[in-house]
Amino acid sequence: MKISTKGRYALRMLIDLALHQNEGYISLKDISERQDISKKYLEQIVPMLNRNGILRTNRGNHGGYMLAKAPSACTVGAVLRATEGNLAPVSCLDTPVNDCPRAGNCPTLFIWEGLNRAVSEYLDSITLQDILDRSAPNSGDLYCI
């Protein structure tokens, strides 16, 4: 499994929105400049995030984008599934029901199921808020006398 530029940029975009969530709707131009990502590329990512209920949009003069839910409710797993599709390591795990004719006697299936479970649990355990908390400058470590 390899996460594409689309998935990585979507995550950066959402982290930017989380950082600026108190500023209301944010324009793609502002995100593009801060993140050094092409505005055109962000425009391709937005529909995927909208479709999956991750972004809220507002058109017009003061339009832009904001998170549809709190950063603590948005997981990295949800973002990557919205942009990458299924995160399964093998095609037979792409759907909820494994319809591979060899599934019943596949000696390696347990490996792929375990890997899929580990990746999903890990990515679903990290929220945008976790990322913000971890990257906060001087997150309480600075002590002056």
pLDDT in tens, 49-86: 999 999 999 988 888 999 999 999 999 999 999 999 88
Tokens of residue 34, six digits: 């801060």
Q: Which CATH class is domain 5-85+127-135?
A: mainly alpha
Q: How far apart are the first and last CA of the chain?
A: 49
Q: Reply yes or no on whether the pLDDT at 143 is more than 60.
A: no
- Domains of the chain, by residue range, sit at 5-85+127-135
Structure-token match 């929105």, residue found: 17
Q: What is the mean pLDDT of residues 7-33?
A: 96
pLDDT at 62: 80
pLDDT at 79: 98
Structure-token match 């209920």, residue found: 53
19 pLDDT band, cuts 50/70/90, is very high
Nearby residues of 58 by Cβ (< 8 Å), 6 or more positions away: 25, 64, 65, 66
